A and B are shown apart, each in its own frame.
Chain A
Amino acid sequence: MEIFLQQIVNGLAIGSIYALVAIGYTMVYGVMKLINFAHGDVVALAAYIGLTVLMQAFGMHVDKLWAVILMFVITSLFISMFGIFLERLAYRPLRKAPRLSAVVSALGASLAIENGIMLIWGPNIKVFPSNVFPSARWHISGVIINSTQIAILLLSIILMLALYIFINKTKIGTAIRASAIDQDAAKLMGIDVNSIIIAIFALGSFLGSIGGLFIGVYYRELYFQMGWIYGLNAFIAAIIGGIGNIPGAMLGGMLLGIFNVLIAGYVSNTWAEALTFVLLILILIVKPTGILGERVAEKV
C-alpha cells in the first residue's frame, strides 16, 4: 500500500509536467486543427535555456532564490516569444495549405530545433544542478514526498487554475474559445483570429517552458532528443483527456503520469511505452473524443 501511494505521488509529479505540456498541444489543436509536432522540442529548448541561465546566475554569485526566479522568468519569456516566432515562420504561411503540409512543416521545425539544440549545447547529456528547490523531504505514513514534487504540483495547479480562469472569465479567453468553435463565425464577430493564434502560441509555449524547466529540475538529465519523448506523452495525454479541451488536457496529463508510473512499477519497464500506446489505442477505439471531449455531430 505504501509503495502504491508512493507511486501515485511520483505519478502526480510527472503528470503535472505532462499536463503543462499537453495544454500547449490542445490549445493549438483546438483553434488550428494542427498537431504541433515541434512543441515537445520547444519544451526541451526551455530546459536547456533554463540550465544556461541558472549556471550563468550561479557564476555571477547571484543568491540561489533569485537565480531560480531569474531562470523561470527569463526562460518563460524567451520561450513565449520563440513560440510566436515559430508560428509566424512555420505555420502562418501554411494556414490555407493542405493540412498535411502544415504537419510536415511542424516536423521540419521539430527537426531544426532538436538539431539546433545539439549544435549549441552539444550532443552529450547535460546535468541540472541538484537541489534547485530546497532539499526538504517529508515522511508521511511511509510515503516520501520531496519539496521538488510539492513545488511542481503546487505551481502546476496554480498555473492551470490561472489559465482556466483566463480562458473562461476574460474577454481574450472568450475569443479563444470562440475561435476554437468556429473560426469564420469568430471573424464575423470582430475577433482578430491572427492575434488569437499568436496568443495561443505564446500561452502554450509559456506553460510548456515551465514544464520543460520542471523536467530539468526533477529528472536533471537533459539530452537533445528528449523533446520527442515528453512531447509524445503529453500529446497522448491531450488526446486521452479530449483534444481541444483544456481541463481535459490537465486531467489526461495527471492520469497518464500515474498510469506510466504504475506500469513501470508493477508491470514492466521495458514495455512501458508500448503499453501507453495500447491504452491510447483502446481509448481511441472506445471513445475517440477522449474523456472530456464532446461528440461533434458530423455536418453534411
Chain B
Amino acid sequence: MKKNFIWYVVFFAIAIVYPHFVNPSWVDIGTTFALYSVVALSQDIVLGKAGMFDMGHAAFFGIGAYTAAILNTAYNIPIIYTIPIAIILSALFGIIISWPIIHLRGDYLLVATIGFNIIFYQALQNNVFGITGGPNGIFGVSTPVIFGINIASQRAIYYFAWFILLITMLIIYNIDKSKLGRAFHYLRESELAAESFGVNKRFYKVLAFALGAAVASLAGVVFAVQYAAVSPETFNFTQSVLFFTIVIVGGPSSIPGVLLGAFVMFVIPQFFREFATARYFVFGIAMILTMILRPQGIWPAKFGKLPKYIKES
C-alpha cells in the first residue's frame, strides 16, 4: 500500500507542474484527460466492480453537463449550486433507468444501456421540452466561483478538474475498502453465492448505477465549464464506447488501470493529430492487439494473495 501511495503522490505532483511546461492546447487535453478519467472510474463502479455490462455511461456524463448548462444559462443559477442538483438528478436517473432492466444478464443489459444512451442523444438533438438547444447545444456557460475565487482561467479549470479526479479516486478507494466494495465484488464473481451470503442483489446493483451516474455527472458539470458550452455529439453512444474501452483496455476494477486506459485511449491519439486520416485505422488494430496480448487489461487489478501451493496446483 505504501508503495502505491508514493506512486499516486508522484502522479499528482507531475499533474501539478504539467500545465506550466506545455502550450494551452495541451493544458486542455490534460483537463479533458482528468474528466474522462473521472467518467471512466465512475463507469468502472458499474462495469468493473459490480460486473454489469454498461455501454451507455456517456448519458450520465451528459445529464451532468446539460443540467449545469440549462440551470446556469436559463435560470442564472451559479455553477457551484448546480453541482449538487446535477448529482442528485443523475443518480435519480441512474436508479429509474436501471431499476426495470437490472435483472437482465450480460449482453442484454449492454444493449439496453446502449438504447438509453441513444434515446438520450436523440432527445437532446430534438430539443426536448425546448430546453436542450437541439443539435447546436447550449452556449455561454459561466465559470464557478468558490469562496470568492472565480475559476475562469484555463489553468484554474485544469486544477479544478484534477481536484475532482482526486476526490473521485478517494471515493473509489473507499468503496473498495468497504462493505459496499465487497458486495459489488461478490456480485461480480457469483450472483448466486452473493445472494446466499445475504447480499441484496437488486439493491446493490441499482446502487452501483446510482453511484456511477452521480460521479459521472460531476465530471459533466466541469466539462460544461471547460468548454463553456454543451452539445449532443459529446454525449453520443460512440463516447460511451470510448469509456467502456478505457475500462476494459486499462484493467477493470483497477484505479491505475483505468487511468492508464484513459491515457492510452484518449491522450495517445492526440499525438497523432497530423495523421488524422489513418490514425483510427491503426488505433482499431491496436485495440485488437492490446486485447490479444493483455486480455485482462494493461494493468489488471490484483485481489489478495494466493498462497504458492494453490497457484502451482
Number of B residues, CB within 8 Å of A: 44
Q: Given the known A-B contacts A101-B248, A108-B286, A113-B284, are A281 and B112 also in contact in the complex, defined by CB atoms under 8 Å?
A: yes
B interface footprint on A276-291 (CB within 8 Å = 1, 0 otherwise): 0110110011001000
- Compute how far the CA of A29 lies from the CA of B281 in the bound complex, rounded to whole angstroms: 25
One of B47, B53, B287, B290 near A111 (C-beta < 8 A): B287
One of A93, A100, A112 near B281 (C-beta < 8 A): A112
Q: Which residues of B contact A105 (CB under 8 A)?
A: 287-288, 291-292
* Inter-subunit contact B126/A111 (CB<8 Å): no
Residue of B nearest to A279 (CB): B115
Q: Is A2 an interface residue (CB 8 A)?
A: no
Closest chain-A Cβ to B145's Cβ sits at a distance in Å of: 37
* Inter-subunit contact A274/B119 (CB<8 Å): yes
A interface footprint on B233-273 (CB within 8 Å = 1, 0 otherwise): 00000000100110011001000000000000000000000
Q: Which of B116, B192, B280 counts the most A-chain CB atoms under 10 A from its CB?
A: B280
* Inter-subunit contact B248/A280 (CB<8 Å): no
Q: Given the known A-B contacts A280-B115, A288-B108, are A100 and B248 also in contact in the complex, defined by CB atoms under 8 Å?
A: yes
* Inter-subunit contact A281/B101 (CB<8 Å): yes
Q: Which of B114, B192, B281 counts the most A-chain CB atoms under 10 A from its CB?
A: B281
Q: Which of B101, B241, B249 counts the most A-chain CB atoms under 10 A from its CB?
A: B241
- Stretch from A57-65, A114-122, A158-166, A199-207 that touches the partner: A114-122
Closest chain-B Cβ to A300's Cβ sits at a distance in Å of: 6
- Compute how far the CA of A115 lies from the CA of B276 in the bound complex, rounded to whole angstroms: 11
One of A29, A101, A232, A285 near B295 (C-beta < 8 A): A101
Residue of A nearest to B280 (CB): A115
Q: Which residues of A contact B175 (CB under 8 A)?
A: none
* Chain A interface helix/strand/loop/mixed: helix
* Inter-subunit contact A100/B252 (CB<8 Å): yes
* Inter-subunit contact A104/B248 (CB<8 Å): yes
Q: Which residues of A contact B287 (CB under 8 A)?
A: 104-105, 107-108, 111-112
One of B122, B280, B291 near A273 (C-beta < 8 A): B122
One of B101, B104, B106, B297 near A99 (C-beta < 8 A): B106
- Compute how far the CA of A127 lies from the CA of B249 in the bound complex, rounded to whole angstroms: 37
* Inter-subunit contact B284/A111 (CB<8 Å): yes
Closest chain-A Cβ to B120's Cβ sits at a distance in Å of: 9
* Inter-subunit contact B104/A103 (CB<8 Å): no
Residue of A nearest to B191 (CB): A298
Q: Which residues of B contact A113 (CB under 8 A)?
A: 284
Q: Which residues 67-121 in B have Cβ within 8 Å of A in the complex?
A: 100-101, 104-108, 110-112, 114-116, 118-119
* Inter-subunit contact A112/B291 (CB<8 Å): no
* Inter-subunit contact B252/A284 (CB<8 Å): no
- Compute how far the CA of A177 lies from the CA of B245 in the bound complex, rounded to whole angstroms: 32
* Inter-subunit contact B115/A101 (CB<8 Å): no
Q: Is A235 an interface residue (CB 8 A)?
A: yes
* Inter-subunit contact A112/B284 (CB<8 Å): yes
Closest chain-A Cβ to B111's Cβ sits at a distance in Å of: 6
- Compute how far the CA of A185 lies from the CA of B285 in the bound complex, rounded to whole angstroms: 34
Residue of A nearest to B111 (CB): A239
* Inter-subunit contact B284/A115 (CB<8 Å): yes
- Compute how far the CA of A90 lies from the CA of B112 in the bound complex, rounded to whole angstroms: 25
- Compute how far the CA of A87 lies from the CA of B47 in the bound complex, rounded to whole angstroms: 26
Residue of B nearest to A41 (CB): B284
Residue of A nearest to B103 (CB): A288
- Compute how far the CA of A112 lies from the CA of B282 in the bound complex, rounded to whole angstroms: 7
- Compute how far the CA of A271 lies from the CA of B260 in the bound complex, rounded to whole angstroms: 38
* Inter-subunit contact B125/A270 (CB<8 Å): yes
Q: Which residues of A contact B280 (CB under 8 A)?
A: 111-112, 114-115
Closest chain-B Cβ to A157's Cβ sits at a distance in Å of: 27
Q: Given the known A-B contacts A93-B292, A100-B252, A104-B249, are A280 and B111 also in contact in the complex, defined by CB atoms under 8 Å?
A: yes
- Compute how far the CA of A110 lies from the CA of B297 in the bound complex, rounded to whole angstroms: 19
Q: Which residues of A contact B288 (CB under 8 A)?
A: 89-90, 105, 108-109, 112
One of A102, A112, A235 near B285 (C-beta < 8 A): A112
Q: Given the known A-B contacts A105-B287, A111-B284, A112-B284, are A118 and B248 also in contact in the complex, defined by CB atoms under 8 Å?
A: no
Q: Is A132 an interface residue (CB 8 A)?
A: no
* Inter-subunit contact A273/B106 (CB<8 Å): no
Q: Is A55 an interface residue (CB 8 A)?
A: no
Q: Which residues of B contact A89 (CB under 8 A)?
A: 288
One of A110, A235, A236, A243 near B284 (C-beta < 8 A): A110
6 extra A-B contacts, CB within 8 A, seeds A94-B291, A113-B284, A239-B111: A100-B53, A104-B249, A108-B286, A108-B288, A274-B123, A284-B111
Q: What are the 7 closest A-B residue pairs judged by CB atoms, nearest first?
A: A108-B287, A112-B284, A97-B295, A111-B284, A277-B115, A115-B281, A274-B122
Chain B positions within 8 Å of A, measured between CB atoms, are 47, 53, 100-101, 104-108, 110-112, 114-116, 118-119, 122-123, 125-126, 192, 241, 244-245, 248-249, 252, 277-278, 280-281, 283-288, 290-292, 295-297
* Pairs A–B under 8 Å by Cβ, sample size 13: A35-B107, A35-B110, A94-B291, A100-B252, A101-B297, A108-B290, A108-B291, A235-B111, A243-B107, A270-B126, A280-B115, A284-B101, A284-B112
